[in-house]
Amino acid sequence: MMNNPSFVYSREKMESITVIVDLFTHKLSYWQDGKRIRTLKIAVGKPATPSPIGVWHVMAKYQGWGGGFGTHFLALDVPWGIYGIHGTNKPNLVGKSVSLGCIRMRNEDVNWLYHHVNIQDCIIIEGNPLGHAYRLPRHLAEGERGSDVLLVQNRLRAGGWYQGRQDGIFADDLLLAVLRFQRKMHVPVDGMIDRDDYLVLGLLE
């Protein structure tokens, strides 16, 4: 069972314009000056390609992408990849966990959002970095990217095992830290994060 590392942002710390994405309910809420103005239905990342959990900001706005990206794209400053909020040519999938990590919306909804957010506005994506409680978290190996990698980086750093960048990327420096951690904690020394490692890190119970 997961040790509930879910990320939920304090409403008291919200900026004047804030967008909150709830991965569990598949809903996006637009807040202004602490008041919720509108709630919209969304599609989110699949378990194998999860949406990036955390506090991000809009770094660019695009119109007319077309195809699977719909009519508008709001790019987020996620350090481990290209993620954003965009439209879709498959509106029937809105409300499901089907994307490669981006947040999908109906085109009319993303059009509304596009005209109500600005560059540097706050986008908060809430959820559990390890996925749903009824599934074991994914195994992590060198090359993986995501909120779960960032969580492992944070735990290893707190324990003094890792001194590298906290960027959600499983690179060489994290691999070396994982190997040191595994040798010391007497778990299989394979350079991967799996169930045994999550347990020792206190992320499963």
Q: Is 102 considered catalytic here?
A: yes
Q: Is 122 considered catalytic here?
A: no
CA angle 136, 138, 142 (to 5 degrees): 150
Dihedrals phi, psi of 27, to nearest 5 degrees: -135, 145
Distance CA 69, CA 145 (A): 22
Distance CA 138, CA 125 (A): 19
- Count CB neighbours of 146 within 10 A: 24
Instruction: Give the active site residue among 26, 72, 102, 122.
Output: 102
Closest CA to 134 of 47, 43, 22, 200: 47
Instruction: Give the active site residue among 57, 86, 122, 186.
Output: 86
Q: Where in the sequence numbering do the catalytic residues fall?
A: 86, 102
